[in-house]
């Protein structure tokens, strides 16, 4: 364990306070935390000192032995048997138990469980799961994080919206960290980590809620928060600016119209008027995206140049579906600037249209009929098979007020402006990481 960079050192000099946590072998590194075990029969073994048996005549047979019988008198009463690893559990079985163990919120028990499998011959993805969650629970052993985590977990149990879990999580995290200014600074420190900021942000969020990391920012969830009667699938994002937040990969499947449209609607999609076809196409697209992300809670953080931390909670599936039904979001297609295309079986070149989702808002101007005009502003963009939240900060703030399943909060920088750069640079340099002696 001594050859690891502790994540607490990465995130800054967190003051270690005493907290009532049971020890794990006296130290995260159990092999270095206590006296060495004595060898049987050696000086450290009281049962093995000067205990010599009288010599017996090897040619003498015992009274009960008959000629031709094998002498078993020197065989051990309990022969050595190969030890099973962690009770013989398969890794995936252990992983399920590990996630269930997280319900208790005890980082020491989680570390003990990890140590029981860490030295196995693991596949790369399995080893990543082990090391990721070891880092998270090392963070949770810090008293400041642990105390904040206890409060956040208690708030989730008391006040939790199962329809929009992301809003509950972000609300409880921000309200708790408002009382822990030192932990709020972590977001600013993370912004100085460059390309590593997303992974460390993921571990920080997981440590605050007592979650288990299961991914790395791809199309699937990154963190799972487990409870006895429900679980939350969380996707975490940490960006340097608004306008290009990666949501995840999505493709419209061939059978999506059959999944989301009734038979009469399918007939209109094929032979209806251009207006009917257009409406049904848009609906299928939004239904498909909403369905893929229907159980996904996005926790998004962006640190502005002035040190303001922007927190966005987004229950994407529920938000898109409700907004489409309310007429607040619309799908538009147009020419593809990248000239993306494919060749079909007949040799025809098919141009792939560009697709975006627009937010409908009041323009602030009165039209010729005396009504308030409306305008469409790009909200989500689809390119290269990936969805991006392209909304500006002002649009994010406005949409969070009007759309269901979105919550926006800000944490202002409380220190001196001159300290902002110092905190951002309070991260390990490349030589410290790459050239560290182990």
- 358 within 8 A of 378, measured Cβ to Cβ: yes
Mean predicted confidence (pLDDT) in 426-432: 89
Token pair, residue 431, equals: 């030589």
- CA nearest neighbour of 177 among 204, 211, 158, 217: 204
Torsion of CA 92, 94, 98, 100, to 10 degrees: 80
Q: What is the pLDDT of residues 30-86, one digit of tens each?
A: 433 343 444 444 444 434 444 444 444 444 444 444 444 444 445 445 445 444 444
Q: What is the pLDDT of residues 277-288, one digit of tens each?
A: 999 999 999 999
- Read off φ and ψ for residue 307, nearest 5 degrees: 90, 0
Judge if pTM exceeds 0.75: yes
Residue 62 has a pLDDT of 42
Neighbours of 408 (CB within 10 A): 19
The domain locations on the chain are: 142-434
Q: What is the pLDDT of residues 223-241, one digit of tens each?
A: 999 999 999 999 999 998 9
Residue 64 has a pLDDT of 47
Decide if pLDDT at 210 tops 50.
yes
Mean predicted confidence (pLDDT) in 302-308: 94
Residue 56 has a pLDDT of 47
Decide if pLDDT at 157 tops 50.
yes
Place 170 in a pLDDT band, splitting at 50, 70 and 90. Answer: very high
Decide if pLDDT at 87 tops 60.
no
């Amino acid at each position: 364990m001594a050859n690891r960079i502790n994540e607490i050192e990465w995130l800054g000099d967190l003051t270690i306070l005493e907290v009532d946590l049971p020890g794990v072998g006296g130290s995260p590194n159990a092999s270095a935390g206590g006296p060495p075990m004595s060898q049987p029969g050696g000086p450290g073994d009281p049962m093995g000192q000067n205990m010599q048996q009288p010599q017996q005549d090897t040619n003498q047979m015992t009274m009960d032995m008959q000629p031709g019988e094998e002498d078993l008198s020197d065989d051990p009463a309990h022969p050595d048997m190969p030890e099973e690893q962690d009770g013989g559990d398969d890794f995936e079985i252990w992983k399920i138990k590990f996630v269930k163990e997280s319900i208790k919120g005890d980082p020491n028990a989680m570390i003990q469980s990890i140590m029981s499998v860490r030295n196995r011959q693991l596949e790369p993805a399995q080893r990543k799961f082990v090391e990721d969650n070891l880092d998270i629970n090392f963070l949770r052993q810090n008293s400041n994080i642990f105390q904040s985590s206890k409060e956040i977990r208690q708030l989730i149990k008391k006040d939790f919206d199962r329809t929009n879990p992301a809003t509950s999580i972000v609300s409880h995290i921000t309200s708790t960290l408002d009382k822990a200014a030192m932990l709020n600074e972590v977001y600013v420190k993370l912004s100085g980590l460059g390309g590593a900021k997303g992974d460390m942000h993921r571990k920080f969020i997981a440590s605050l809620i007592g979650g288990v990391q299961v991914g790395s920012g791809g199309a699937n969830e990154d963190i799972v928060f487990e409870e006895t009667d429900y679980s939350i699938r969380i996707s975490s994002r940490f960006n340097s600016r608004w306008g290009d937040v990666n949501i995840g990969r999505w493709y419209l499947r061939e059978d999506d119209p059959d999944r989301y449209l009734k038979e009469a609607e399918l007939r209109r999609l094929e032979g209806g008027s251009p207006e009917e076809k257009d409406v049904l196409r848009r609906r299928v697209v939004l239904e498909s995206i909403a369905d893929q992300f229907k159980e996904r809670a996005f926790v998004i953080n962006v640190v502005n140049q002035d040190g303001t931390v922007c927190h966005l909670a987004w229950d994407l599936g529920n938000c898109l579906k409700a907004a489409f039904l309310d007429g607040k979001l619309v799908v538009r297609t147009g020419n593809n600037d990248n000239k993306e295309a494919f060749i079909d079986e007949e040799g025809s070149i098919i141009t792939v249209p560009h697709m975006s989702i627009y937010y409908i808002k009041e323009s602030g101007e009165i039209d010729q009929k005396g009504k308030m005009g409306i305008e469409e502003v790009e909200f989500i963009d689809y390119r290269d098979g990936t969805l991006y939240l392209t909304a500006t900060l002002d649009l994010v703030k406005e949409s969070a007020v009007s759309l269901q399943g979105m919550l926006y909060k800000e944490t202002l920088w409380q220190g001196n402006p001159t300290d902002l750069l110092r905190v951002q640079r309070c991260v390990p340099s490349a030589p410290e990481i790459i050239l560290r002696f182990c």
